[in-house]
Amino acid sequence: MKLSRPTGWEDINLNEIDLVDPALYGTGDPHLLWHALRERNPVHWQQVRPGLGFWSTTKYDHVCRVLRDYQCFTSQNGTLLNLLGKKDPASGQQLPATDPPRHTKMRSPIQRALNSKIIEAHREQIRDEVSRIFSGVGDGEVVDFAELTGEVPMAVTGTLMGLDRDDWPKLTHLTNQAIAPDDPEYIQPEGGQATLERAHRELFASFEDSLTSRTGGHQGDLIDLLRTMELEDGRRLRPGEIVSNCYSLLLGANVTTPHVPNAAIIELMDNDAYADWAAHPELMLSGLEEALRWSSPASHFMRYAKCDVQFGDVTVRTGDAVVAWIGSADRDSEVFPDPYRFDVRRKPNRNIAFGIGPHYCVGHGVARVSLQVFFEEMFAEFEGFEVAGEPEHLHSNFIAGFKHLPLVARRRSRAPVMTAAAPGQPAAGQSRAISSSRACGADM
């Protein structure tokens, strides 16, 4: 669905809104419902069944408060709606399901391993992977852009984690099943819950195999880091905790990063916006932040109130579940003027696509570099894309994304445009020329 300023939100019966239903995100318009809630009832109670419900926060400031304030809102009782009313088996063991100060101790070594210097050292490796993916797309060819972008995060994260390249396609499919188990394309005959459990089992088994195969020595990747890191009590992570955090890191990369260019390309195909951005490399970073705001791939995160909390005239009671809708916060007109316009020149841009607070996405640096390289290479290789069929959205209340996006690719017939690069790095197009000459001689 192409976003435009919602109409008809005044007539929506708020008591009939069901933000849990995965089908809403596949065939409906959650932005229309979020808009109605922001305008009419920004802290809204949804009763799921007798004795079970949750508060929805849809305004930017409220969402930020829920995600920032770990003293009032805990992550350890479940962070996604599929765990509403259930015990989270990852509580206290997995980064997203752990509160400070333990969370801080677990996060620090991973954050150090993903610092900007290390990420920059992988920039050209990421560029090579993106170039490899684009190399198979011919001029005038119909390509499923969503499948194309779906290869990028695994190529990056799979390399950083030291995962076998032969396993990348399977792991990508399993992570999609894990975040969209009710999607008609991924659901198994036994139902959505069984699909989710099966995806978890297979993903965890794959990580266990990778872990047990490491007998002595160090490969210097993220799995090695998890094997050797020490917690606040001086002990190392148990095998189950390592596997759980591998799952979290891979899930964060595979189910968020690809949907940013997917959402952006639909807007870029209108009104010569693609050519405009491609011709202005100085807009790369501001355009990237706008693509993040526009897509907000992680739609929500859930917390539980540890004490009574007041939002205006609404009191959230101790023990209540509270859902922070990131996709709604990033359309709040009080923070983003003209929020339904895709504007690569938008400044300031305080989007929270990677979250905010202690659970700010630990892999945000890798994701930003990967996305920047993707857009640079895309602008260098292609003069544009045209719609070749209807896009298909994921049926998922967690990830706002596409599973299919058929486009016609138009390759450039002239020299590639020169795009912005990080300080000290060659620009896109220039990097490929250098490579040729040498050849001749996600926690929230």
**Residue indicated by tokens 């920039």:** 123
Is pLDDT larger for residue 434 or for residue 141?
141
Q: Compute the average pLDDT of residues 316-329.
A: 98
**Which residues are CB-neighbours of 160 under 8 A, at least 6 positions away?**
122, 221, 222, 366
Q: Compute the average pLDDT of residues 366-384.
A: 96
Q: Compute the average pLDDT of residues 313-333.
A: 98
Q: Which amino acid is at 160?
A: L
Q: Compute the average pLDDT of residues 6-30.
A: 95
For residue 55, is pLDDT > 70? yes
Neighbouring C-alpha atoms within 13 Å toward the C-beta of 426: 12
For residue 341, is pLDDT > 90? yes
Q: How far apart are CA 98 and CA 91, in angstroms?
A: 6
Binning pLDDT at 50, 70 and 90, where does residue 439 land? Answer: very low
Q: How far apart are CA 278 and CA 429, in angstroms?
A: 13
Is pLDDT larger for residue 15 or for residue 421?
15
**Which residues are CB-neighbours of 268 under 8 A, at least 6 positions away?**
274, 277, 342, 385
For residue 166, is pLDDT > 60? yes
- Predicted pLDDT of residue 376: 97
Residue pLDDT, tens place only, 76-110: 999 999 999 999 988 998 899 999 999 998 888 88
Cβ neighbourhood burial of 233 (10 Å; 0-12, 13-18, 19+): exposed
Range list of β-strands (E), 308-347: 309-311, 314-316, 321-325
- Predicted pLDDT of residue 424: 44
- Predicted pLDDT of residue 420: 52
Q: Compute the average pLDDT of residues 273-283.
A: 97
- Predicted pLDDT of residue 215: 66
Q: Are 408 and 137 in contact (CB under 8 A)?
A: no
- Predicted pLDDT of residue 229: 78
Q: Which amino acid is at 265?
A: I
For residue 241, is pLDDT > 90? no
For residue 357, is pLDDT > 50? yes
Q: Considering only CA atoms, give the Rg of the chain.
A: 22
Domains and CATH numbers, the chain: 9-440 (1.10.630.10)
Is pLDDT larger for residue 163 or for residue 318?
318
**Which residues are CB-neighbours of 314 under 8 A, at least 6 positions away?**
43, 55
Closest-CA residue to 330 (of 290, 288, 284, 375): 290
Q: How far apart are CA 418 and CA 440, in angstroms?
A: 23
Among 53-57, 58-62, 128-132, 225-229, which is the least confidently predicted range? 225-229
For residue 294, is pLDDT > 90? yes
For residue 4, is pLDDT > 80? no
Supply φ then ψ for residue 363, to 5 degrees: -100, 20
**Residue indicated by tokens 């939002």:** 311
Report the percentage of the chain scoring pLDDT > 90. Answer: 69
For residue 433, is pLDDT > 60? no
DSSP reduced 3-state for 399: strand
Among 17-31, 208-222, 334-348, 382-396, which is the least confidently predicted range? 208-222
For residue 236, is pLDDT > 90? no
Report the percentage of the chain scoring pLDDT > 70. Answer: 91
Is pLDDT larger for residue 135 or for residue 251?
135
Among 131-145, 203-217, 358-372, 420-434, which is the least confidently predicted range? 420-434
Binning pLDDT at 50, 70 and 90, where does residue 444 land? Answer: low
User: Which letter does DSSP use for residue 427 in this model?
Assistant: P
Q: How far apart are CA 432 and CA 428, in angstroms?
A: 7
Is pLDDT larger for residue 199 or for residue 424?
199
Strand partners, 74: 304
Q: How far apart are CA 112 and CA 108, in angstroms?
A: 6
Mean pLDDT, the chain, as a whole number? 89
Q: How far apart are CA 169 and CA 172, in angstroms?
A: 5
